[in-house]
Amino acid sequence: MPTKSPLIPIVDKTVAQHNALINARFSFVPLEMRLFISLLTRIEPGDEQFREHFVPMAEIIHERTGGSAYDEVKQMCNNITSRRLYIEKLIDTQQGTRKRSKKPDFEFIPLMAKAAYESDRGGVVASFNPLIMPYLLQLRESGNFTLAQLEQLNKLKSFYSYRIYWLLKEYATFKERTITIAQLRFLLDLQEGEYPRFNNLRTRILDKAQTEMQQTDMPFTYELQKQGKVVSEVKFLLAAPHNGEVMPTKSPLAEVPAWARTLAEIGVGERSLAVVHRQLEAGEYEVDYIAYVIRIVTNQFRKGKIKKPAGAIYKALIEKYLLVDYQQAKAAAGTKKKALTQAPSAAAAVTYRLSEVRKIYDNPGPYAQRQKQADTFEQHLQQVYLRDGFTIEDRDGEQWLVKYDEKR
């Protein structure tokens, strides 16, 4: 049986979407967008499957009532059941969760399992397609999702404003997002003949979204990047929430640091990134410690020792329980480097690029997988190479493992 819903939704409701859904290709008309949002608000954090929900007309038709409005809702139900998402496929993990890929494949998935207007109840009974459950349910288990307040979404009237809101909300911590024109057209599901001139796209979509989002928690300005005379990218700059003043057309913002991009891709959330940023500014550790933690935790995850790498990485950063190991490894590397500068100029018998050795360690072949692998790359170097007489040298900015021929 469909679950009943109040006529007026709770305004402070928080809704969530997987970031893969935010970056999927699809489009709605306004009525479809309102039904979609209404269904999002009815998802609970503990839900393991989709249910049918009743959505009253008051949540879908805001401006008017009457026969024409009901006819539009009926037609909307027919149209939305044929909508498909063009979305990246998630990868199943050994821990039973799904994660994004750096080079994803895309597939078409129907959005709705059902959408039917019921005149006797004055609303729509609808449910999502079970195939999109990984993008809307149990999101805290897999990470890589974005939250938004229903109160803010209800301020948006245009579908394009709604899409741009989520695209920028995903990058709220970074304060900016650059999207190519080709990507923007893909994400907004613009067909080849729609807005062929950039000025029309700018007026009808970008400027309109900027106006609507001015009153939300995601006001923005934007800069246009050009290749020659052609606009190639839009750099969205996230500003402070609206305070009644006129927003400037541009604002200088620092580039997003590489460590923040990497942690975000792994699944570390916005608030967690802010904590890491404060620790870095306070000098509690250096940026290289983040890379060290990611490397250690990734190895543990690969071996099945942990189930949620994003949480383990964040814990290692804020609690700093790997900091001593990192400092010892750094000190040892400094000692080796100093010794190498004093090494005799002898002919090398065997040399390996350190980067290639690292690739082999990170991606062992079938034979190597049957052997016991060191817990860290540093231990692997010590056990396999350094104990056997290899040293590490810098040659033209690249590190090499070198073993000298003692006979020469």
Q: How far apart are CA 344 and CA 86, in angstroms?
A: 60
- CA pair distance 181, 84, nearest whole angstrom: 22
Query: Quick check: helix, strand or coil at residue 361?
Result: helix
Using CA atoms, how far apart are residues 184 and 339, in angstroms rounded to an integer? 53
Structure tokens at 73: 């809702």
d(CA 343, CA 226) in angstroms, rounded, equals 51
Q: Whole-angstrom Cα distance, residue 247 to residue 340?
A: 57
The series of mean pLDDT values per 10 residues for the chain, 408 residues long, is: 42 83 93 94 90 92 70 93 94 74 89 94 94 90 83 92 95 90 93 88 94 94 90 89 43 56 78 84 87 85 76 87 84 61 50 73 48 67 76 78 64
For 343, half-sphere exposure in the C-beta direction (CA atoms, 13 angstrom radius) is: 22
Q: What amino acid occupies position 238?
A: L
For residue 74, what pLDDT is reported? 92
Q: How many helices (H) and strands (E) does the chain have?
A: 17, 15
At 200 the three-state DSSP class reads helix
Q: Helix (H, G, I), strand (E, B), or coil: what is residue 324?
A: helix
CB 154 within 8 A of CB 25: no
DSSP track, 203-264: IIIIHHHHHHHTTSS--EEEEEEEETTEEEEEEEEE-PPP-SSPPPS----PPPPHHHHHHH
pLDDT at position 162, please? 96
pTM over cut 0.75? no
Residue that the structure tokens 């394009």 belong to: 160
pLDDT of residue 241: 59
The predicted pLDDT at position 45 comes to: 81
Nearest-CA neighbor of 223 among 178, 188, 264, 170?
178
List alpha helices for 42-158, DSSP H.
Answer: 67-80, 139-142, 150-153
